[in-house]
Each structure stands twice: as C-alpha cells, then as structure tokens.
C-alpha cells in the first residue's frame, strides 16, 4: 500500500482501521509505522472522526430530549398501531 492508497481509504472509512476492508488493515498498520506522512494524515482523519463522533453521539445521547421523547413516542405509536391493525 502506498501513501495515496492509504489516504484514499482514510477519506472513505476514517481513522478507525477496524472499519476498513480486512485485506487492507495489515498493510495500513505497516505503513503507519514506516511513513510519517501517513501518520500525519491518520491523525488528521482521527481529528475529523472525533468531531463527527461528537455530533453523532449528541444525537444518540439517551438523555437528550430527542431520544427520551421522540423515540419513546415513535415506539409507543408503532406498538399501538400494530396492535390495532394486527391484533396480537
């Protein structure tokens, strides 16, 4: 794997190499050890991941109004409607 291939995978999957295609992970880890430029790109992708994760986790937070009211309401409505249409 060369630097550009590594960068393309970073752009696609982010810095969590566990999400990468399995056939590329070992090559990616080897490049990280041997190529400072790859390590810089990896750190940069990890920083972007951290920002995206913060936004994503805010939406998933079980204590947020979105989760506690909206999802409960959805589930209750679905269960009620399902029982109405298809008596269980």
Partner 1 sequence: MLIDYKDKGKPVNRADSDTSLMQAISVNDKDAWHVVIGLYASSVSRYAAWILRDQSAAEDITQETFLRLTKKAATWTPGPTTVKAWLFRVARNLCIDRLRTRKEEYVNVAAPAIAGLDSLDIDKAIDIVTSVNKSLNKLPERQKSALILVHFEGLTGAEAAQALGVSIDATESLLARARRRIRKDLTNVFPDLIGR
- Using CB under 8 A as the criterion, which residues of the chain lie in contact with partner 1 when the complex forms? 8, 11-14, 19, 21, 44, 47-52, 54-56, 58-68, 70-71, 73-75, 77-79, 81-82, 85-88
Nearest alpha carbon to residue 42 among 15, 9, 13 = 15
Q: Which is nearer to partner 1, 33 or 51 (CB)?
A: 51
Q: Which is nearer to partner 1, 37 or 60 (CB)?
A: 60
In the complex, minimum distance from the CB of residue 56 to partner 1, in angstroms, rounded to a whole number: 4
Q: Which is nearer to partner 1, 12 or 30 (CB)?
A: 12
Rounded CA-CA distance 88/72 in Å is 21
Dihedral, 36, 42, 45, 49 alpha carbons, nearest 10 = -150
The residue written with tokens 């079980």 in the block is 62
């Amino acid at each position: 794997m060369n630097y550009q291939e590594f960068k393309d995978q970073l752009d696609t999957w982010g810095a969590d190499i566990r999400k990468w295609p399995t056939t590329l992970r070992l090559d990616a880890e080897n490049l990280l050890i041997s190529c400072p430029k790859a390590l810089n790109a990896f750190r940069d992708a990890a920083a972007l991941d951290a920002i995206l994760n913060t936004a994503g986790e805010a939406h998933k937070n079980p204590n947020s109004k979105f989760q506690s009211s909206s999802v409960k309401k959805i589930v209750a409505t679905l269960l009620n409607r399902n029982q109405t249409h298809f008596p269980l």
